[in-house]
Structure 1
Amino acid sequence: MYFMFTDVQRANAELFFRLATKSIDAFEKLTALEMDTMRSMMTVAHRDTVNALSENRQDQTPGLEGASALPSPEKAETYTRQLFNIASDVQSELARWTQEQIGAQQETMRTWADQVGKASTSVARAAEQYSGTVQQAGQQGSEQMSDMAERGGQETSAMADAMSRSARRVGEQVSNSSPGSTASKH
């Protein structure tokens, strides 16, 4: 049973490290995505600024600065999609690991229940055997006591018969040896 708990602890430690690794990977991907997005925005802003200055459109420069700071709808969509992919990847890994942990915990509980069941069965069998042994010993003791009582009764009966015969003989001897007895008169 001790090994079962160490296995659970080991599985929990492995899960922690897997989650930590996945979190670091997700953070790395998010950082790379942010850097790519910022680099792209800066590149577009630089290009638009250079184009505006090269064309000498001084009057449109303030509008271009504001327009280049905003991402295009396609870039925003790409950014959102990549962000969603990172989040869904982390979420699917968490769900998979959660299922693994639930399965491992269920297996641990099944094993534990089986061991408890086996132990209970063993205890029940031992109690049954003990009960049977005690019952058998009690029965044997009862039979021995009954046999002893029967033999004691037979011996007591035999002694009583012997004493009764002895008493009759003594009584006959006393009555024969007394002066008024008929045996001495003859």
Structure 2
Amino acid sequence: MPRPARYTVDELLDAAATLLADGGPAAVSMSAVARAVGAPSGSMYHRFSTRAALCGELWIRTEQRFHSGVTAALSAPDDPQTRCVAAARFTVRWCREHPNEAQVLLAGADALGAADWPAHLTAARRRLHRRLRQSLAELPADADRVNAAIIDIPYSVVRRHLLAKRAIPGSADGIVADCARALIPKG
């Protein structure tokens, strides 16, 4: 009977996210993650075949967690304006509550070697994006306004704080909500 794993995939990915938040994408390596959790470096290769696989898993897990909240807000049985406000506020709140994972999203998939990810991770990313596009398409509002309200503006508001590695202030919630309300008509 094989010995049970001492470290879960989530623990390893959490360590990778912390390394990225502290030192950027280049800080994420198989040996650095192993050191961070106190695991033998060889055990990393039992979970992830390559650094690209590790980085791809980190990205997909992060994007899934983020998208689940955005799509939930967009799928609520409210009017389009209320749904867009909720999605915009979710972005700010999620980034505040998950600063390491927010740094992963800020770094971007390309910085995490997306071109070298295993096929199953690339396919998973396409599925995530397809679900988000479907949620956006269900809103009966101008697509450019929706994108500005729930993607462009919240991203801009949190980005400068994430780059400076500062906490996102409480005022950010009201800013993105006001902008979403201004962009998406009530109804």
Larger radius of gyration: 1
Interval of TM-score (by shorter of Structure 1 and Structure 2): under 0.3
- Which has a greater percent of helix? 1
TM (norm. structure 1) is 0.23
